[in-house]
A and B are shown apart, each in its own frame.
Chain A
Amino acid sequence: MSSVLQKLITPLASSSAEPPRNKVTVVGVGQVGMACAVSILLRDLCDELALVDVMEDRLKGEMMDLQHGLLFLKTSKVVADKDYAVTANSRLVVVTAGVRQQEGESRLNLVQRNVNVFKAIIPQIVKYSPNCTILVVSNPVDVLTYVTWKLSGLPKHRIIGSGTNLDSARFRHLMAERLGIHASSFNGWVLGEHGDTSVPVWSGANVAGVNLQKLNPEIGTDADKEQWKATHKAVVDSAYEVIKLKGYTNWAIGFSVADLTES
């Protein structure tokens, strides 16, 4: 190999490789982790992607499957290992590891099981990327973002929970569909808990700056003849519905994580 390499290529700079500038790590190669990874790759957001998980065969298989697609991507390096050394120098670490909701199970039920998983994960992340930002996706995300903040010792501006980014996206999609416009043209925010008690801020809902609550002062209340409240209920129920139909959700959360990563 070396003789063809030497005949073909003459290196000009020193041979030590530059560290990556926009490295992203995804912890957990389940359906959510891989949806996040592929969305990030297809949107050209990182120059290196690292994957970590405890299931070694699955991890290696996912890494190889992504590497086979590198021709079509603008990310030159995809690495994976059980050992967190592979995550060193990450700018952003996306944590999707942990157990997921079963059919009918609420997110809060998962807490203690996932806290134990995080006790193993978070110190390792911080060890190898002490300057990273951590984006927590695992559920219940608000509680686990708090747990990550405590376990990591990082300042709070570098610990982010994916939160209601997805709920807001679902809300905007469902509201926009009722009005016949693109989701990005419907402005509406869902805040608070990512889950059963999320809050749709009706006073802010607008299209082209036209406030919907001004057009319909009862919007979102039980008295509302048009029952717009049902749309928010559909947002809360949507994860459970998709889980019932296909066993899990992944694409929407993957796109929403890529959206946050991009910012």
Chain B
Amino acid sequence: MSTQEKLISHVMKEEAVGCRNKVTVVGVGMVGMASAISILLKDLCDELALVDVMEDKLKGEAMDLQHGALFLKTHKIVADKDYSVTANSKVVVVTAGARQQEGESRLNLVQRNVNIFKFIIPNIVKYSPNCILLVVSNPVDILTYVAWKLSGFPRHRVIGSGTNLDSARFRHLMGEKFHLHPSSCHGWIIGEHGDSSVAVWSGVNIAGVSLQNLNPNMGADGDSENWKDVHKKVVDGAYEVIKLKGYTSWAIGMSVADLVESIMKNLHKVHPVSTLVQGMHGVKDEVFLSIPCVLGNSGLTDVIHMTLKPEEETQLVKSAETLWGVQKELTL
């Protein structure tokens, strides 16, 4: 008898149940791995799968995570170039694709990343036909649309990480101004995750006290407190970090884990994420932009109707037109 047989007896006759809360991360670059460890350190899944085309790097990352298994509550971490390893995932986080170079805008990445998605998305769908897709790769609003088209999934199961991170950055900056924790500073950035995002000043509040009521010029050019600059810092934030360390990873990783948490735990929490906004706020085209949405284990089940000023709606429509202009040239 082997040591194992002397120690342990298997007593269950049926097949093991296997994973119930599996998460896959596609792409093991800096963003993918930051998302993976944020998800692992928050105990969000019972199995984690990693996929990438770079086989050595993939195997090395999986081993490094497995060596930390003692400190985690996720028993199974698997990785392969072959998508069969992703089977039965509840949530698939897509971070694969080219990233912005210094000074490059997100829209430049489009066609390169569409081609990558043509390979990835059908493979994901094949092995996890009921999963929820969470798209992170940039330009996220366009690529969420692309993932929706390529997957054939209903729109509630295709979510873009959108302005969840922009809003987090805004709330951090607001927190610094008032010496408060960001979670006590409320502000919503919606629309495009990028240069033309919209800061909804009317909603900015602390303990329900509207800051625009205290400062009616908030966000306008005449504003003595220059809130517009706070929004500009949010837009520029990614470019600045890229210039200093080459890429961004930690903040986006944590924001992805925040979204995965709401989905896996069925929290019905409201997050600013990218969804189909056709028919809302004057948007006519089939585009994805970030608005406040309710996330749970079915996916993105509800949207919140914000009361926007005319100039805010104009901005959303303008973003939608820019995105549609790019989308209609794509070969899917």
Q: Which residues of A contact B (CB under 8 A)?
A: 1, 3-5, 7-9, 34-35, 38-39, 42-43, 57-58, 60-62, 64-73, 76, 166, 169-170, 172-173, 176, 178-184, 207, 210, 212, 215-216, 219, 226, 228, 238, 241-247, 249-252, 254-256, 258-259
How distant is A226 from chain B, measured CB to nearest CB, in Å? 6
A64 & B63 in contact (Cβ 8 Å cutoff):
no
A173 & B254 in contact (Cβ 8 Å cutoff):
no
A72 & B68 in contact (Cβ 8 Å cutoff):
no
CA distance A181 to B70 in the complex (A): 11
B159-201 contacts to A, CB under 8 A, are 165, 168-169, 171-172, 175, 177-178, 181-183
Residue of B nearest to A76 (CB): B181
B3 & A38 in contact (Cβ 8 Å cutoff):
no
CA distance A169 to B69 in the complex (A): 8
- Decide: A250 near B251, CB < 8 A? Known: A71-B182, A184-B70: no
B244 & A38 in contact (Cβ 8 Å cutoff):
no
How would you classify the secondary structure of chain A's contact residues: helix, strand, loop or mixed? helix
CA distance A228 to B69 in the complex (A): 20
* B306 interfacial contact with A, CB 8 Å: no
A226 & B245 in contact (Cβ 8 Å cutoff):
no
B251 & A68 in contact (Cβ 8 Å cutoff):
yes
* B85 interfacial contact with A, CB 8 Å: no
Looking at B4, B64, B211, the one whose CB has the most chain A CB atoms below 10 A away is B64
Q: Interface size of B by Cβ–Cβ distance < 8 Å? A: 62
A207 & B7 in contact (Cβ 8 Å cutoff):
yes
Looking at A9, A64, A178, A241, the one whose CB has the most chain B CB atoms below 10 A away is A64
- Decide: A68 near B67, CB < 8 A? Known: A4-B211, A42-B41: no
A245 & B209 in contact (Cβ 8 Å cutoff):
no
Contacts of B65 in A (CB 8 A): 251-252
A65 & B215 in contact (Cβ 8 Å cutoff):
no
B68 & A251 in contact (Cβ 8 Å cutoff):
yes
Contacts of A210 in B (CB 8 A): 7
A215 & B7 in contact (Cβ 8 Å cutoff):
yes
- Decide: A215 near B3, CB < 8 A? Known: A4-B225, A258-B71: yes
Residue of B nearest to A67 (CB): B172
* B249 interfacial contact with A, CB 8 Å: yes
Contacts of A68 in B (CB 8 A): 165, 168-169, 172, 237, 241, 248, 250-251
- Decide: A182 near B248, CB < 8 A? Known: A169-B70, A256-B68: no
CA distance A212 to B8 in the complex (A): 11
CA distance A173 to B248 in the complex (A): 31
B249 & A65 in contact (Cβ 8 Å cutoff):
yes
* B255 interfacial contact with A, CB 8 Å: yes
A71 & B183 in contact (Cβ 8 Å cutoff):
yes
B252-294 contacts to A, CB under 8 A, are 253-255, 257-258
Residue of B nearest to A214 (CB): B6
B216-264 contacts to A, CB under 8 A, are 225, 237, 240-246, 248-251, 253-255, 257-258
- Decide: A66 near B251, CB < 8 A? Known: A8-B209, A173-B69: yes
**13 interchain pairs (CB within 8 A)?**
A1-B177, A4-B211, A4-B215, A57-B244, A61-B240, A64-B241, A72-B168, A72-B254, A180-B8, A182-B69, A245-B60, A246-B56, A259-B71
Residue of B nearest to A207 (CB): B7
CA distance A259 to B7 in the complex (A): 29
B211 & A69 in contact (Cβ 8 Å cutoff):
no
Contact with A along B32-55 (1 / 0, CB 8 A): 011001100110000000000000
CA distance A61 to B181 in the complex (A): 21
CA distance A53 to B238 in the complex (A): 21
